[in-house]
Each structure stands twice: as structure tokens, then as C-alpha cells.
Structure 1
Amino acid sequence: MLDSPYTDLDRPPLSQAALTRALVRPDGLWSRLTVVDRTGSTNADLAQSARDGAREGAVLIAEVQLAGRGRLGRVWTAPARSGLTFSLLLRPSAPPARQGWLPLLVGLAAASAVRRVAGVDVRLKWPNDLLVGERKLAGVLAERVEGAVVIGMGLNVSVREDELPVPTATSLVLEDAECADRDPLIRAVLREVETHYREWAAAGGDADACGLRTAYLGMSATVGQEVRVELPGERVLTGRATGVDALGHLLVEADGEERALSAGDVVHVRRT
């Protein structure tokens, strides 16, 4: 899966020095930016950094990830330098109940940045996927680590059709993006995350006061759809996604009752 016909010129490495100069500032959110050639999991590495007391704003980017994980323990792989694989360390002061918005916030920021830089119509599938149509462009995985939150993302940039991990995935190259250069993409994503995070934090994590919920709903591919939600404990709920509540939970109407879901794997049954 890691071998590719692409040359280094087709998939150039990211420059840690250039990204640090552009993104790490004394008054900024990002405190340290590290680019590694390969690792098992950026989330696992940054989680250990959190346990060791790393400051908020650490960013770890891997050119290739050998043991990446998605939600529900799924394996996530991609050829070297074919995407953006990175994790962020945040230490939010907002109440824990409101911190469920953080993976949605990062997804929204990434979608907004990709739409602006690459010109691709990216939408959000609750809780953690970036979609183009119904094909997955990126996924987000958040983990709590001793008072911190580590959020990882894998975004397919130059992955070809024969390199896709599953037929339902896609990449910016496959979507004829205006830009498939990872450098401006990661800069745009991290700047967008910083803007949304600072606004959310200043509002005490209130997604309505900072406009986060409105912005998220405006880019949602899930709300308004008939969905099948695979819940913990091998339960399944089928109904209509009606919204996202103040805590970031998905609202699903089924059998005349509206339920708020904090976790679950969503499948869009049909478009309306």
C-alpha cells in the first residue's frame, strides 16, 4: 500500500522549518510543529506528549502513518506523502460537556479551508467525515488524554483510484481540485482551526454564542437525510437526521421520537 509510481517531485516532502515560520508565533495557538518521515500513529505519539506535559498547540505531521486508526478501531492507510496526516494537542478550558464540539470544529475548519484553497465542494458527515458527494475525503478522530484533547485527521490529497483504501473514498486529485499542494492546504487548515478554536474558547465552548453550530449546520451533509446509525452495543437506529444540538449530538427522529446521539456510525440511506 505504501509503494507508489509517484516520484518525490510529484509528492514532495513538507518542510518543518517553513511551516514553523508560517504558523508558530508567540501570540498564536500553535506552539510547536513537527514533521516526521513516518510513525505508527500521530494520535498515539501526541497523546504520549500530552501525558508528558506538552503545551497546548503542539502539531505532529507524519509523511506516512503505519498504524493509523479511524473510528471504531478501523485501520487507516495511505501511500507516503499522498495526504495530510496530522494530530493537534488542545487543552480546552471549556466545560467537558461542551468539548464534544472539538472534532466537529476541526472538521468544519478543514472543510472550509479545502473549499477555499482547492475549490472542492466538501460537506460534513456527522460526526467525523469530510465528504465530496458520498465519498470520504477525510476523517477526524478525537481522544481525551488526561485533561487534554488530541485530534487527528487524515486527508487524501494525491491518492489515486487504485490506491484508495476503500471504493467509497476519494482524494482532491480525483475530484479535480484547483490545488493539490499539501503545503498551502495544511497552512490553511491550521489557520482555520485556530480561528474557530479561539472563538469557541472565548465563548466558553458555547457553540451558539460563537456561531459554530450555525456554521456546522450550513455545511452538514447529514442533517435532513434519512440515516441508519450503528450504535454501541450492536444496536441500530434508523430515522431522519433533524439537527445537531447545543452539545454537538446528532438529533434523529425515529418512530415519532427525537433522540440525541453522542456516538454512532452514520450511513446516509438516501438523499432528499
Structure 2
Amino acid sequence: MRHRAALLSTILAVVAATLVLPGRASAVVPGFKVDITELPATFTAGAGARTVTVVATSEQSRCQKVRWSMFIEVDGPQLDEVEVARVEDDGDFPVQVENAGNDTARITDVQLDPGELCRGRTVTARYQIGFDDDAGSGQVTFRAQAFNADRTLLQETSSRSQVRGEEREEAEESPSPEASPSPSESSPEPEDSADGDENAEPEPTDTDADIAAVPASGNDTGTPSLLGAGLIVGGILVFLGVGLLLRLRMRSRQPQAGSQLPTGFYPAN
């Protein structure tokens, strides 16, 4: 008996799960519309839950019940950092959560919505969405689907919001005081760049100052001293040369002994 009871419980659980999950959303039924009427533009991590509201309308004359299903896809935060609660006027509404892959979770109502969808009458689903304190920045996409009691997709819609992380991302992005370079370590920038002012004269360096302190050796400064010394030496040499020439000339004019010529003519024998 115990084995039969356990087997019966397992079969009932499988059947219940099959009935809860909607069928494939391969097509929509004309005459129905689903809109996300309330959605925050930005969710802030650790700031509490925000309300997401989905409304279904119908143009058909026949009324019918609705079962809601919501896909939540995150890019940046993790799925385990998202807090979701399906609520109605009397409190929380039971849902079934399954992992749809690619950072996506699917939240489906276990029961049909208390309201009834008719022409001129809407059915509303509300969700409380929040993110943990340590959730990362990114975005979250919501895709809401409305099914009838026969698990046929009536209509769907989607929208997206931003997720702003808390101090963890700000601390990682902003550099720490120790990592910032000190004024002595940072290379000084030149006061006057070449691109800023082409006519600006550069400030003299130490080498330029040393060169400027040495007097220039131009022709006007060195020529008088060398010319005066050259003239004096030249004058002395010219004087000695002229004296030597006069002395040689005087010696050449003096008669030599024993070589004087006769002063008269002698008759020839």
C-alpha cells in the first residue's frame, strides 16, 4: 500500500506540473493585447522592490480566464541577485519558477488569475522586483505572456530597464588614493607648448646663461691689440733692414788697397 501511495503521489505531482506550465508560445490569438503599463526605468541595487504591472485587454465578446507567465532576463546582475514576488490584492500569489537558460528565469502562475478577461474589462498582474545590495550594474528584460485556461498563448509583450549597482561598482571604477600618482612622481607638463604659441621665446637654460656670461671674441675686440704689436715688430724689422742696406752700400763704395787705377795716361812705347 505504501509503494502504491508513493507512486500515486508522484503521478499527481507530474500531472499538476504539466497543467501549470503553459504550452508553446508559437502563436497569438487576435483580439487580445498585453501591455506593461508600470515599469521603472532604473532599478537600484539594495533600494527595495519596485512594482511591475502587466495588463491584458480583449476585444472578444466571450470572457475567459487568464494565466500569467513572466520571463526575466538579466545582463550584468546574476539571477540569484533578483528578488521577485507575484502579488494580488489579498497578498502573494503562488508561482512556479524555472530556469530558462541564458541568465533567464520563467515565473508562471500556479493558478488562474482571479479576474476574468472580457470586452471592456481588463486582467492585471503585478510583480514586486528588487535586486540585492551586491548586485552588479547592467540591464533586465521583462517578457510578459498571457495564456487562457487551455494553455493557449493569447498575447505577449516585452520591455527593458537598467540596473544600477551600488557602492561595489563605484569602488571598483574609482581609483584608490594609493594608486593615484603623487605630484612628485607625475611628470610636469611644460608651461608653454610649441603648439600653443609659435612666437613665444623659450626661457634660457643654465647652459645658455653660462654662454651669455662669456664675452664674445669678435673682430672689434681682438684686432687693436694684435695690430699694435704687429706694427711695432714690423717697424723694428724695417728699421734694422734699412740700416743693414745702408751699411752694405757704404762698405761697397770704400776703395780697396792695391787696386787703385792710375790717374793719368802714359805714352805707349
Fold match by TM threshold 0.5: no
Q: Answer 1 or 2: higher relative contact order, Cα 8 Å, separation at least 6.
A: 2
Q: Report which of the two structures shows the higher radius of gyration computed on alpha carbons.
A: 2
State the TM-score bracket (shorter-chain normalisation).
Answer: under 0.3
TM-score (normalised: structure 2): 0.20
